[in-house]
């Protein structure tokens, strides 16, 4: 089978590798769609992210959907939850498995990700998707889940004033979630006009291009001079965080979602201190797939609208080039050959798979 491996900065190779064999508690999945995330681009550009560095050729990709091809659930279409916690430590037992110290994550460190034709993955981390969701939709549940987790940290409520600083796909999902949560004012910034146009279409009430901070007065005025109850830094840039702090109202919550290119973040302490701000750091997501699926299935969030480019596996160079240049919004790669199946197994078949519950499968 084919797998796309990162060998060094900017060096990806599509290689022939052995087909994986599922171990105990695993199933074999044919990977049908993988989104290229900003964190994948960190690995691609620098062979590392934060304090993690490339130690061997690594398969990237963690936003993924596919079809199970082994065992009693063969034919079931799934979203691939990229996180594999230990399920036994203090954090896991407390319901915070995303903070598990022993967690393994697809396309990170030494855990191969989804940019390969086949993957053996824990059954408990394969989430059945309804008939109405395409394979690309299934892959987009992961970035939507990251946005859901971040919005939950800020407790956005009806009537809230919200700022979103960085309008890539996750920032756009935060805009959409703030809108359906009842936020009445949503201000947003980005360095790219086409992303701001998308933010407006998704519900932002005022947007501005990043302009060395001069845009902050304009956006503060859009909140009637009061600032935001919640602010989200989603650019991985100190300037975006500074804007979030400046535009946050006293006692507001600022959520840091973006991952910086270098492993440090700086901001003006006096601005945050004098306002008594709560600063929270968002770590991926935690048990949100059921809610993400309901949001998409109900039509409240159109995840496919964020996908502006879909490329076959052989076009990986083009796909990563488009993503690296920040053209469009989300680039998706199709590792498996052939057209996307219109349907996998039926909803009834999905229901029969309840003996293998998905992570976080409670509807509460």
Q: Whole-angstrom Cα distance, residue 360 to residue 133? A: 19
Q: Whole-angstrom Cα distance, residue 56 to residue 6? A: 8
Q: Which residue has the tokens 């967690």?
A: 103
pLDDT of residue 337: 61
Interaxial angle between packed helices 169-180 and 193-202, expressed in degrees from 0 to 180 and rounded to the nearest 10: 20
Q: What is the DSSP letter of 23?
A: -
pLDDT of residue 261: 85
227 near 139, Cβ under 8 Å? no
pLDDT of residue 50: 87
181 near 147, Cβ under 8 Å? no
Q: Whole-angstrom Cα distance, residue 224 to residue 38? A: 33
pLDDT of residue 146: 97
pLDDT of residue 339: 44
The CATH superfamily of 146-281 is NAD(P)-binding Rossmann-like Domain (3.40.50.720)
Q: Whole-angstrom Cα distance, residue 360 to residue 364? A: 9
**Residue 140 in 3-state DSSP?**
helix
- Residue 280 forms beta bridges with which residues? 255
Tokens of 149: 């987790």
Tokens of 324: 């690296």
CA distances from 242 to 42, 155, 308 (A): 22, 21, 30
Tokens of 262: 């270098």
The CATH superfamily of 2-144+286-355 is Medium-chain alcohol dehydrogenases, catalytic domain (3.90.180.10)
**Hey, where are the domains in the chain?**
2-144+286-355, 146-281
pLDDT of residue 262: 86
CA distances from 320 to 35, 48, 258, 327, 337 (A): 10, 16, 19, 10, 19
64 near 105, Cβ under 8 Å? no
Nearest to 135 by CA among 21, 288, 296, 361: 296
Which helix H or strand E contains 121, and what residues bound it? strand 118-122
pLDDT tens per residue, the chain (364 residues)? 999 999 999 999 999 999 999 999 999 999 999 999 999 999 999 999 888 999 999 999 999 999 999 889 999 999 999 999 999 999 999 999 999 999 999 999 999 999 999 999 999 999 999 999 999 999 999 999 999 999 999 989 999 999 999 999 999 999 999 999 999 999 999 999 999 999 999 999 999 999 988 999 999 999 999 999 999 999 999 999 999 999 999 999 999 999 988 889 999 999 999 999 999 999 999 999 999 999 999 999 999 999 999 999 999 999 999 999 999 999 999 999 644 443 333 333 323 332 333 333 322 2
Tokens of 88: 């036994």
């Amino acid at each position: 089978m084919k797998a796309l491996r990162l060998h060094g900065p900017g060096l990806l190779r599509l290689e022939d590798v052995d087909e994986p064999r599922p171990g105990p508690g695993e199933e074999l999945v044919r990977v049908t769609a993988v989104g290229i995330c900003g964190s994948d681009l960190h690995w691609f550009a620098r062979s590392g992210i934060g304090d993690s560095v490339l130690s061997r050729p690594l398969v990237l990709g963690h936003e993924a959907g596919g079809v199970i091809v082994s065992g009693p659930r063969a034919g079931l279409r799934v979203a691939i939850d990229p996180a594999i916690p230990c399920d036994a430590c203090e954090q896991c037992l407390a319901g915070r498995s995303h903070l598990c110290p022993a967690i393994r994550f697809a396309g990170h460190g030494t855990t191969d990700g989804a940019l390969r034709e086949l993957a053996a993955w824990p059954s408990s981390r394969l989430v059945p998707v309804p008939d109405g969701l395409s394979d690309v939709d299934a892959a987009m549940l992961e970035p939507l889940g990251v946005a859901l987790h971040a919005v939950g940290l800020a407790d956005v409520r009806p009537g809230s004033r919200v700022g979103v600083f960085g309008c890539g796909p996750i920032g756009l999902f935060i805009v959409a979630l703030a809108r359906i949560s009842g936020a009445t004012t949503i201000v947003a910034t980005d360095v790219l006009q086409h992303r701001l146009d998308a933010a407006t279409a998704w519900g932002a009430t005022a947007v501005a291009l990043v302009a060395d901070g001069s845009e902050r007065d304009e956006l503060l005025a859009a909140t009637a001079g009061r600032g935001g109850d919640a602010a989200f830094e989603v650019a991985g840039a100190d300037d975006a965080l500074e804007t979030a702090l400046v535009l946050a109202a006293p006692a507001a919550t600022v959520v840091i979602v973006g991952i910086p290119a270098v492993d440090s973040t700086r901001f003006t302490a006096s601005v945050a201190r004098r306002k008594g701000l709560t600063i929270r750091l968002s770590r991926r997501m935690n048990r949100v797939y059921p809610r993400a699926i309901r949001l998409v299935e109900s039509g409240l969030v159109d995840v496919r609208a964020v996908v502006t480019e879909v490329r076959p596996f052989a076009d990986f160079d083009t796909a990563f080039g488009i993503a690296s240049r920040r053209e469009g919004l989300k680039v998706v790669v199709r590792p498996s050959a052939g057209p996307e199946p219109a349907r996998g197994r039926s909803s009834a078949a999905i229901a029969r798979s309840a003996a293998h519950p998905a992570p976080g499968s409670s509807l509460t």
